[in-house]
């Protein structure tokens, strides 16, 4: 629902208080029907925990044979598992701290966090600071932990866009006063990400910003005009880059002799993994494609290993969990908007867009429905920075839900 229309309905005289769902589905609370409240949405926590634990098992399954490759011969068979457990521990501590921060503080810090993310995106490009892997400079080494500034940029842009729309609500119908400055900010982030290069992260950030603009009530014609410009810009980037064009051609025909051992190699072996899994899979640990055939099996192509070991049933379960999570997060955002907490509502819905869109892209790439793009599966793939920022984003959503419940009881946040 567009926010402008929603606020109009809320302000209409003579209307009853808008009922808001709290706790278990089907239970409704308004001023005359109080219910026992929990501190946060426990169902959302359990779904996130399920994805995290399943991802932990699959990361170990997908990486256990990697030390047999001479490239990783110095690693123990549990190397990636131990690092993943360490990353999860750090991420859970940071997320627990993030949950303690009131949304009013996040709103106040949003511009400064955005500036800090820009500074880190600049620092990662410096040769003596940024760490390069396979021609891409995307990480800053922190000893036992490699931090990826683009993951922070997703979260910072989300907060900044929500704060920006709250501040510009009165001029949201004017392109040059409302939309253009936000477009410039996203463009600066995009240029820094493309210099790494990391087009996948830029795509996610652009979708988050556009989603928040739309939910914030930007004029529909203005929104579609912006969407056309963004799509044209991404098309021009692909057309101007020979290796990006080659990825598109490989996606269209991954089985050709030219692409099967080149840009289409990952996709062709991902499809083979899904084919081997059939309906019920070959069993946990039984994947053959993870045995040095499918590159990045523990990161970008973790879903292919799930498809091979758990079959269609496992893939459908993963999709169902992400669908439920995205829907639940969007619902929490609508609750916040219904209680006039516009910043909180936009942030929660922005997190839903982020997790839902990135999961959609990763699944589409693994299944051959979309061109290959280096995006991990949220909460499941190996990657410390990604999981930490995913959990921080979910912690903020849980904080929003917590504050929604406080407001429903007549308290203050």
Model confidence over 149-192: pLDDT tens digits?
A: 999 999 999 999 999 888 876 655 666 666 778 888 888 998 99
Strand order in the sheet with 146-147: 130-133, 136-141, 146-147
According to the model, what pLDDT value does residue 264 have? 79
Query: 79-99 and 384-408 are packed helices; what angle lies between their axes, rounded to 10 degrees?
Result: 30
Contact between 394 and 350 (Cβ < 8 Å): no
What number is the average pLDDT over the span 200-229? 83
Q: Measured between alpha carbons, how far is 269 from 315 in angstroms, rounded to an integer?
A: 17
Residue listed under structure tokens 């955002």: 333
191 or 133: which leads in pLDDT = 191
- The β-bridge partners of 147 are 140
According to the model, what pLDDT value does residue 325 have? 97
Question: End-to-end alpha-carbon separation of the chain, Å?
Answer: 25
Q: Measured between alpha carbons, how far is 79 from 86 in angstroms, rounded to an integer?
A: 11
What number is the average pLDDT over the span 220-245? 78
CA 407 to chain CA mean position, Å: 28
Q: Measured between alpha carbons, how far is 204 from 301 in angstroms, rounded to an integer?
A: 18
Sequence-distant (≥ 6) Cβ neighbours of residue 268 within 8 angstroms: 254, 255, 259, 260
Q: Measured between alpha carbons, how far is 39 from 41 in angstroms, rounded to an integer?
A: 7
Q: Measured between alpha carbons, how far is 232 from 219 in angstroms, rounded to an integer?
A: 20
Which structure tokens are listed for 142?
């922190």
Write down the H helix ranges in 241-381.
Answer: 242-252, 257-260, 265-277, 302-338, 342-366
Q: What is the pTM of this model?
A: 0.85
Q: Measured between alpha carbons, how far is 27 from 396 in angstroms, rounded to an integer?
A: 23
Model confidence at 222, pLDDT cuts 50, 70, 90, reads confident
261 or 378: which leads in pLDDT = 378
Q: Measured between alpha carbons, how far is 15 from 32 in angstroms, rounded to an integer?
A: 14
Model confidence at 324, pLDDT cuts 50, 70, 90, reads very high
Model confidence at 141, pLDDT cuts 50, 70, 90, reads confident
Q: Write down the domain spans for the chain.
A: 3-9+41-405
Out of 161-170, 221-230, 272-281, least confident range: 221-230
According to the model, what pLDDT value does residue 253 have? 76
213 or 362: which leads in pLDDT = 362
199 or 58: which leads in pLDDT = 58
């Amino acid at each position: 629902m567009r926010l402008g229309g929603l606020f109009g309905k809320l302000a209409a005289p003579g209307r009853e208080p808008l009922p808001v769902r709290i706790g278990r589905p089907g239970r409704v609370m308004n001023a005359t029907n109080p219910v026992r409240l929990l501190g946060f949405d426990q169902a959302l926590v359990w779904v996130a925990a399920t994805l995290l634990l399943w991802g932990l098992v699959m990361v170990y399954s997908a990486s256990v044979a990697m030390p047999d490759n001479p490239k990783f011969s110095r690693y123990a068979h549990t190397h990636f598992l131990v690092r993943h457990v360490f990353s999860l521990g750090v991420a859970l501590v940071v997320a627990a701290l993030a949950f303690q921060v009131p949304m009013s503080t996040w709103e106040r810090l949003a511009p400064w966090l955005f500036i800090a993310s820009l500074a880190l995106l600049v620092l990662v490009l410096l040769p003596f600071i940024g760490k390069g892997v396979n021609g891409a400079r995307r990480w800053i080494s922190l000893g036992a932990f490699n931090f990826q500034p683009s993951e922070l940029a997703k979260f910072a842009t989300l907060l900044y866009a929500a704060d920006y729309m709250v501040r510009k609500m009165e001029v949201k119908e004017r392109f040059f006063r409302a939309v253009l400055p936000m477009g410039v900010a996203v463009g600066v982030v995009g240029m820094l990400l493309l210099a790494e290069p990391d087009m996948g992260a830029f795509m996610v950030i652009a979708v988050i910003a556009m989603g928040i603009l739309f939910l914030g009530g930007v004029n529909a014609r203005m929104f579609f005009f912006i969407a056309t410009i963004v799509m044209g810009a991404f098309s021009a980037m692909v057309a101007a880059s020979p290796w990006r064009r080659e990825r598109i051609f490989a996606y269209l025909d991954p089985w050709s002799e030219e692409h099967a051992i080149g840009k289409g190699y990952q996709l062709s072996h991902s499809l083979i993994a899904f084919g081997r899994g059939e309906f019920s899979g070959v069993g946990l640990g039984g994947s053959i494609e993870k045995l040095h055939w499918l590159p990045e099996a523990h990161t970008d192509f973790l879903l292919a290993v799930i498809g091979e070991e758990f079959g269609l049933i496992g893939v459908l379960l993963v999709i169902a969990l992400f669908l439920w999570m995205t829907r639940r997060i969007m619902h929490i955002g609508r609750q916040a908007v219904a209680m006039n907490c516009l910043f909180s509502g936009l942030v929660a819905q922005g997190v839903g867009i982020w997790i839902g869109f990135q999961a959609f892209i990763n699944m589409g790439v693994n299944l051959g429905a979309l061109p290959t793009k280096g995006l991990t599966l949220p909460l499941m793939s190996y990657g410390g920075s990604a999981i930490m920022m995913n959990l921080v984003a979910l912690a903020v959503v849980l904080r929003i839900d917590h504050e929604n419940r406080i407001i429903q009881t007549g308290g203050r946040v």
